[in-house]
Amino acid sequence: MALDRELHGFRVGAPQLPENNRPIRTRLLLTEDASIEDNLATLRARVVAIRPNDVWVSADGGAVLSVGGSASQVRFREWRRGRILEAPVIFRRPARFLNDGVPDFERDAALDGISVLGTVKSGLLIDVVHRATAIGELAADVRAHVRRKVADRVAPYSALSAAIVDAVLIGDRSGLPDDVRSRLQIAGTYHVIAISGGNIAILAAVIIVAFVPFGIAGRPAAALTLVCLVAYALIVTSGPSVWRATVVAVVYLVARLLDHRTAPWQAFAVAAALLAVGEPLDVRNAGFLLTFGATAALLVAVGRGLLRGDGRHGRRWISWLVASIGASAAVEIVLLPVMAETFSRVTAAGLVLNIVAVPAMAVVQISGLVVVLAPIEALGVAAGWVAHLGAAAILDSARLVDIASWLAIRVPAPSAATVAIYYVALAVCLWSSTRQTKLAGVVALVICGLVIITGSPARQDVRGLRLTMFDVGQGDALMLQVGERSVMVDAGGSPFGGSFDIGSRVLEPALWARGVSAIDTLLLTHGDPDHIGGALTLIDDFGPRHLWQGIPVPRATSLHAVLERAAASGAVLEQRRDGEEFRVGDARLLVLHPPPPDWERQRVRNDDSVVIEVVYRDVALLLTGDIGADVERAIAPRLTPARVRILKVAHHGSRTSTSRELLEAWRPQIALISCGRGNPFGHPAPEVIARLEAIGARIYRTDLDGEITVDSDGDHVFVNTFIGERK
C-alpha cells in the first residue's frame, strides 16, 4: 500500500513499526456519516490519495479516523457519506495482540476493509473538497431528516429510545453506549437493531400494503417495492448486513417480475452465490455465516412443518408462541458452533427474549416511519411515544441476563473436529431416511452440543514453574503457574481506559489456549486502568478464590468496582504488605512492597505497587508492577542472590524505573518488558534498554516478541515467544 511504500511499517502483519510517523495530507472518501461521542468525532472512509511530500500519491484502503477538538462537535454534520475530505492525518496500524488463541485483530480488520487507523488533531484542519453525487447528497439529507425527527419526537421520552430508533431506521448505532450494546449482544437480541433480513422484510410488507389503496398489486407492486428497497439500502448507513438482506429481497422480487414461482431456498442460494462472487472475502465474515445460517435454519424449520401449531381461533396465541420459540430454537441450534467460535459465548436467553424483541423491533420500525413521515405534529409525537415503548421493551427485556446470568455463558472456541461432527450429526438428523441413523445423529448432536456448552480447554500440565507475560498492549498481565497452582498478576487494559474489553477479547482466549479454566489468586499490583482493565472478566469467568491488592484507595471507583465484583463472587479479599511470605506449590512468594500506609491515599500511585519476589529453587523472579527508582533502591539489598535472576521491568520500561542501582545490585540475566507497539509514551525508553544491555541481560518485549513464556525446573530457564526467534 502507498503508506508502506512511503513510510514503511504499514504492511498488514509487518513485524517492524512505522517509520517517521508524522501528519500526512490525505484525501478521504467518506463511507459513512461522521458520528460524535465523548467529544470525539469518528470518520469511516477510504483513503484515495496521500501527499507525503509535495506530490499526491494514489492510495486505496479503508480507514477509521478520530477527530479531536471542540470544532468537531459542530462541523461533524458537514462530513457526510460520499464527500471527499482533505486533512493532515497521523496514521497507525490496528492493534495486534500476539498470544496463542487470540485472533489477529489487524488481519481481521483488513479483511473487513479497515487497513489503518488515524487521528486528526482538530476539526478545523479538515476541508470538504468535493461534495457527494446528487443521489448521495439526497440520501444524506434524508438521514439528517430522520435524525432530526427522531430527536424531536422520540428523544424527549428517552435518549436511549431515540438511539434505538435511529439504529432500526437508518442503521446509525453511534448513540448507543457500549454497555447497552454489550447487554443486547449477551442477551442474543442485538440483531434486532442491526438492519438485516427482518427489517427489510417488514419494510417490504409495509410498502406492499401502502400500495393497496392505490390499486397497485402483483408485478407493478413487486417492481415498485424493489425500487424502494434499493433506494432504502442507498440511504441507510451502509454495511454488509444491509446489502445481504437487500440482495435476497431483490432476487426474490426479480423472480416474481419474471413470473418465476421461486422457492425461498432458490432465492436464498442465488443471493448467497452473488454475494460470494461479488465480495468473496465476506464469506469468512461471521455476519455472512450468521445471516445465511439463520435463514437456512428458518427455511428448514418451515419446510418441515416444525413451526406450525394448532390454528384454532382460541389457541392462535399459543401457536404463535410455540412457533416463535421454535424459530429461535432452530436458529440457536444451527448457529451454536458459530457463536461459540466467533464470540466465545453461548446464550439461551434469546429463546425467550426474541418473543419480545422481534415484535418490539417491528413496532419501533413501523412507528418510527410514522415519526419521520407524519405531516401532523400530534400524530408524529404520538408515534414517537409508541416507538419509545417498543425501544424500551427491547432494552428492558435484555436485562434478563443481569438477573439470570447463567442464561449466557462464556465458552472456549470448540475444536474443528467438534464443529465438523456437530454439523454432520445435524445433517444426519435432518435428512437420514432410517430411524436408527436419525437416533445416532441426535445422540451425536447432543453430545457435541454439551461439549461446546460445557467444554473446558484442554488442560496443559505445568511441570516446575511457568511465568507467562501476555501481550496486552500498553499494560501488564502475567500468569504464574507452579504445578497445579496459579496466580494471575494484573489484568491488562488501556492506560486511559476505554471500551475495548481486554479481558474477554484477549486474556480469556489466551488463558484458554494455555489450558487454564480457573485461577487460584488474582493479584492487582495497583489500580491503574492498564493493570485492572480485564479483571471483571477474569472474576466472572475464572472465579479466583483470592484477590490480593496493595494499599486501598477509597476514591478509585474502577478499582472498587473490581473489588465489589470479587466479593460478590465469593473471593477472599486480602491486602498484601511488605514482609509477608507465602507458598504457591513449591515456590516461595516474598512481598517486598508496599509497607503499611501512614496516610489515606487520594489517588492510585505507581509507587504503591505490590512487589513480589518469586523464588523457585535456584531461580528468582522479581515482579515489580509500576514502581519507580526510589522503591527499587529500597528493595535492592533484600533481593535473593539466586543463580538465575529474571526481572519484570517496571512501568513498561519507563526511564523513571529500572535504575542503575537495582541492576548493578541484582544483575538479572533476563528482562521482560510489557509495552504496546508504537505506544505514545516511547516505552521502553532507550536509556532503560541501554542499562539492561550494559549488564548483559537478554531482553524480551511484548511489542516485538508477543506473548513470552518462561519455564524453569528450578535450575535451568527456557524462554519461548509467540514469534519465535527475533533477530
Q: Are residues 398 and 421 in the same domain?
A: no
Q: Are residues 389 and 437 in the same domain?
A: no
Closest listed residue to residue 673, CA positions, set 607, 718, 721: 721
Stretch 648-653: mean pLDDT, rounded? 97
Q: Are residues 597 and 651 in the same domain?
A: yes
Q: Are residues 424 and 377 in the same domain?
A: no
Torsion over CA: 274, 237, 149, 156 (sign): positive
Q: Cα separation of 646 and 149, whole Å? A: 63
Q: Cα separation of 713 and 258, whole Å? A: 75
- At 566-579, the pLDDT tens digits run 999 999 999 999 99
Is the per-residue pLDDT at 332 higher than 60?
A: yes
Helix (H, G, I), strand (E, B) or coil at 85: strand
Is the per-residue pLDDT at 314 higher than 70?
A: no
DSSP-derived pairing of the beta strands 116-120 and 84-92: antiparallel
Q: Do residues 593 and 578 make contact, with C-beta atoms less than 8 angstroms apart?
A: yes
Domain count, the chain: 4
- At 458-481, the pLDDT tens digits run 777 788 999 999 999 999 999 999
- At 78-119, the pLDDT tens digits run 999 999 999 999 998 888 899 999 988 888 888 788 889 999
CA angle 649, 652, 653 (to 5 degrees): 65
Domain final position from 393, 410, 427: 410
Is the per-residue pLDDT at 306 higher than 70?
A: no
Closest listed residue to residue 549, CA positions, set 565, 525, 582: 525
What is the percent of the chain with per-residue pLDDT over 90, rounded to a whole number?
56
Q: Cα separation of 13 and 98, whole Å? A: 11
Greater confidence (346 vs 626) lies with 626
Distances from the Cα of 714 to the Cαs of 295, 464, 616, 618, 711, in angstroms? 57, 7, 6, 5, 9
Q: Are residues 557 and 655 in the same domain?
A: yes
User: Does residue 322 lie in a domain region?
Assistant: no
Q: Which of 167-181, 384-398, 443-457 has the highest mean pLDDT?
A: 384-398
Q: What is the pLDDT of residue 210?
A: 86
Greater confidence (61 vs 241) lies with 61
Is the per-residue pLDDT at 280 higher than 90?
A: no
CB-neighbour burial class of residue 725 (10 A; exposed 0-12, middle 13-18, buried 19+): exposed
Q: Cα separation of 646 and 625, whole Å? A: 14
Closest listed residue to residue 11, CA positions, set 101, 96, 102, 119: 96
User: Does residue 232 lie in a domain region?
Assistant: yes
Q: Are residues 117 and 217 in the same domain?
A: no
Here the cell at position 109 is 480488520
Q: Are residues 639 and 670 in the same domain?
A: yes
Q: Are residues 124 and 152 in the same domain?
A: no
- At 197-222, the pLDDT tens digits run 777 877 888 888 888 888 888 888 88
What CATH number is given to the structural domain containing 100?
Answer: 2.40.50.730
What CATH number is given to the structural domain containing 703?
Answer: 3.60.15.10
pTM of the model: 0.87
Q: Name the least confident of 70-79, 100-109, 259-268, 347-356.
A: 259-268
**Could you tell me the residue range of the domain that residue 441 belongs to?**
416-454
Contacts of 30 (CB under 8 A, 6+ apart): 43, 44, 45, 79, 80, 81, 82, 83, 84, 85
Q: Are residues 85 and 145 in the same domain?
A: no
Closest listed residue to residue 355, CA positions, set 410, 397, 418, 306: 397
Domain final position from 132, 164, 183: 132
Is the per-residue pLDDT at 312 higher than 60?
A: no
Q: Cα separation of 11 and 2, whole Å? A: 10
Q: Are residues 540 and 428 in the same domain?
A: no
Is the per-residue pLDDT at 428 higher than 70?
A: yes
User: Does residue 319 lie in a domain region?
Assistant: no
Q: Cα separation of 131 and 78, whole Å? A: 10
Closest listed residue to residue 114, CA positions, set 190, 22, 1: 1
User: Does residue 128 lie in a domain region?
Assistant: yes
Give, rounded to a whole angstrom, the gap between the first and last alpha carbons of the chain.
Answer: 25
Confidence of residue 727 (pLDDT cuts 50, 70, 90): very low
User: Does residue 437 lie in a domain region?
Assistant: yes
Look up residue 494 and give its amino acid.
S
CB atoms within 10 A of CB 379: 14
Q: Are residues 709 and 580 in the same domain?
A: yes
Is the per-residue pLDDT at 301 higher than 80?
A: no
Here the cell at position 283 is 464469506
User: Does residue 331 lie in a domain region?
Assistant: no
Q: Do residues 700 and 672 make contact, with C-beta atoms less than 8 angstroms apart?
A: yes
Domain final position from 132, 167, 184: 132
Distances from the Cα of 368 to the Cαs of 376, 388, 395, 659, in angstroms? 14, 9, 16, 63
Q: Which of 175-189, 200-214, 324-338, 505-519 has the highest mean pLDDT?
A: 505-519
Q: Are residues 39 and 109 in the same domain?
A: yes
Q: What is the pLDDT of residue 531?
A: 97
User: Does residue 671 lie in a domain region?
Assistant: yes
What is the percent of the chain with per-residue pLDDT over 70, rounded to a whole number?
95
Q: What is the pLDDT of residue 304?
A: 66
Look up residue 70 and give its amino acid.
S
Q: Cα separation of 366 and 387, whole Å? A: 8
- At 144-167, the pLDDT tens digits run 999 999 999 999 999 999 999 999
- At 477-518, the pLDDT tens digits run 999 999 999 999 999 998 877 778 999 999 999 999 999 999
User: Does residue 459 lie in a domain region?
Assistant: no
